Amino acid sequence: MKMLRILSILVLSVMSLSAKDIMEKNLDPLFLGEDTISLNFNEKWNIGDLESFAVSSNPLYLREKQNIGIARGDIITASLYYNPIVNMQQQFIGARATSGTGLPETSVIYNQPFDLSGVIPQREKVAKQEFMATIANFNDFDRLFRLRLRQNFWTYLYVTEQINYQKEFLENYQDLLDLTKLRAEKGDISFLEYDRLTLERIQIDREYRNARILRAQVVKNLRVLIGLPDSNVPLEVKGRLEFFSTKEFGLELDKFDIEGRPDLVVLKLRQQKERMNIELRKREIIPPLTLGVEYLNKGTEHVTGIYASTPLPLFDRRQGEILKSEESFKKLTFDVEAKRNEILNEISAAVKELQARESQLLEYKQFDLINKNREVQEKSRLAYIRGASNLVTFLEAEKNYLNVLRNYYEIIYLYYNALEAFRAAIGKMDTSDL
């Protein structure tokens, strides 16, 4: 009995330790394996955190990455030599010595095909070229993936700025409504002014709620892009929609090399692959030579012999495959030139938009637009509170203030979108310069 109690205590202690370990693992929201990046979801994320987590957790991104492994398998398959063939034969029907067929026969044949024209090395070169094209294709997917992620990041910051100033406006309007109601009750002003202010507040409240709905949609897009399936996990983005010039980012708009852009690299690599394919099809005209060794046993007779066999390329000399590869090479040559023109036009449009947005924002910065706009709005509000201005003038000043804020942040948002479009156009999507 005493031993039983000791054993039960030991078992319970081990079970409690195991349960504790399991609970600690379950409490970790990122317990998905050793390769998962550990991040604190209670903290705000910057664009670098979002990208790092997305490229390690998004199933669509990881799925696209598997194509590289598939192409690596094609290289292994292409580099393998021909398998030998072994034939074994036993004749046993009519095996009596007095029968027509004579004694039973046993034969073993070993065949080995040989590559005389270098098909296998050329086939391996073609597979390696396709492997490099697959890597470049993934790099292009990564470029577009990061572009979409950053566009949603800037949209989040833009909508957040809208929410912030509209929230501030709503709070100020509530104070103003209370004051206007008090003045209307005293008879200083008409209740019509109070009703009109109420209508204006309702309009701003509608825009505020719409902005919150839009931000929720942007957060949904960010969750999908970074691979967060659990809607209970908080996601807050860190950053402000502030203007920084291209010089501060270290960008030179007139210095770029389009030859390194991934989608152009893909086409050039596949063009070279088709050139190699032409050579491969020509080498395949000469079929493999098969050498064989045969051993035959029939009673007391033992016979050994060798033989060789190869197909004669009298009719099928890969004419169709050679023509197809030549035409594919010509087609890809046109594709490369068309892609170059497309990239140059894309960069030109991105540079023009970026320069236009930047020059406008530099003028705003020199004029100190935001501070002067706030100063005018505060003076207008103070004049209305003191009774030195009527309601129409006050509401017009409020609308101007809101429009200036909205236009200013919209231009910054469009500026950063153009900046990311330029980066994507030249194929440089590094986070180190953010």
Contact partners, residue 277, CB within 8 Å, separation at least 6: 126, 325, 328, 329
Query: pLDDT category, 12, cuts 50, 70, 90?
Result: very low
How much is the pLDDT for 6? Answer: 41
pLDDT of residue 203 exceeding 90, the answer is no
Rounded to an integer, what distance in angstroms lies between the CA atom of residue 152 and that of residue 216?
Answer: 12
pLDDT of residue 18 exceeding 60, the answer is no
pLDDT of residue 70 exceeding 60, the answer is yes
Burial class (CB within 10 angstroms; exposed 0-12, middle 13-18, buried 19+) of 423: buried
How much is the pLDDT for 97? Answer: 56
Asked if residues 134 and 269 have their Cβ atoms less than 8 Å apart, the reply is no
Strands (E), 33-128: 85-91, 105-114
Burial class (CB within 10 angstroms; exposed 0-12, middle 13-18, buried 19+) of 188: exposed
Q: Closest by alpha carbon to 423, among 14, 143, 103, 157?
A: 143
Instruction: Give the pLDDT confidence of 420-433 residue by residue, as tens digits.
Output: 999 999 998 865 44
pLDDT of residue 33 exceeding 60, the answer is no
Q: Summarize the confidence of residues 164-168 as an average pLDDT.
A: 88
Candidate from 61-70, 112-121, 166-175, 220-229 with smallest mean pLDDT: 166-175
pLDDT of residue 31 exceeding 70, the answer is no
Q: Closest by alpha carbon to 307, among 287, 289, 293?
A: 293
Candidate from 88-92, 119-123, 146-150 with smallest mean pLDDT: 88-92
Rounded to an integer, what distance in angstroms lies between the CA atom of residue 324 and that of residue 280?
Answer: 12
DSSP reduced 3-state for 238: coil
Q: Summarize the confidence of residues 156-175 as an average pLDDT.
A: 87
Q: Which of 38-42, 349-353, 369-373 has the highest mean pLDDT?
A: 349-353
Instruction: Give the pLDDT confidence of 254-263 residue by residue, as tens digits.
Output: 888 999 999 9
Instruction: Find the helix packing angle between 369-386 and 119-186, rounded to 10°.
Output: 20
Q: What angle do CA 76, 77, 80 make, to 5 degrees?
A: 85
Rounded to an integer, what distance in angstroms lies between the CA atom of residue 334 and that of residue 327?
Answer: 11
DSSP 369-431: HHHHHHHHHHHHHHHHHHTSS-HHHHHHHHHHHHHHHHHHHHHHHHHHHHHHHHHHHHT---S
Query: Quick one: what percent of the chain has pLDDT higher than 70?
Result: 86
pLDDT of residue 378 exceeding 90, the answer is no
Rounded to an integer, what distance in angstroms lies between the CA atom of residue 79 and that of residue 119?
Answer: 10
- Mean pLDDT rounded to a whole number for the chain: 84
Instruction: Give the pLDDT confidence of 86-101 residue by residue, as tens digits.
Output: 999 887 665 555 555 6
Q: Summarize the confidence of residues 66-82 as an average pLDDT.
A: 95
Which sequence spans correspond to the domains of the chain?
Answer: 42-426
Q: Summarize the confidence of residues 54-81 as an average pLDDT.
A: 94
Query: pLDDT category, 24, cuts 50, 70, 90?
Result: very low
Can you name the CATH fold of 42-426?
A: Outer membrane efflux proteins (OEP) (1.20.1600)
DSSP reduced 3-state for 244: coil
Q: Closest by alpha carbon to 373, among 405, 399, 412, 395?
A: 405
How much is the pLDDT for 96? Answer: 59
Which is higher by pLDDT, 303 or 22? 303
Query: pLDDT category, 42, cuts 50, 70, 90?
Result: low
